[in-house]
Amino acid sequence: MNAHLLSVVAEGTTPNRYSGINPTLNAAVVMGLFLVLLFLVTRLNKDK
């Protein structure tokens, strides 16, 4: 079989890595949620 044909077939079947999700925005949202959770756990702690 032709090597060029195999490479075209292989490239056509690769899935999209992020599928429309922006990794930078995703990281910023997750970090913001962790900071809110950290604030809630530290400031609203009743064990003092």
CA distance linking residue 4 with residue 12, whole number of Å = 12
pLDDT at 20: 86
Domain ranges of the chain: 21-48
Dihedral sign computed on CA atoms, order 29, 35, 38, 40: negative
Find the distance separating the first CA and the last CA of the chain, reported in whole Å.
Answer: 73
Residue 38 has what pLDDT? 96
Measured between alpha carbons, how far is residue 13 from residues 5, 9, 20, 35 in Å?
13, 7, 17, 39
The per-residue pLDDT for 41 is 92
Report pTM: 0.53
**Structure confidence by residue, pLDDT tens digits, 1-48:** 677 766 666 666 655 565 788 999 999 999 999 999 999 999 988 876
Long-range contact set of residues 26-30: C-beta below 8 Å, sequence gap at least 24: none
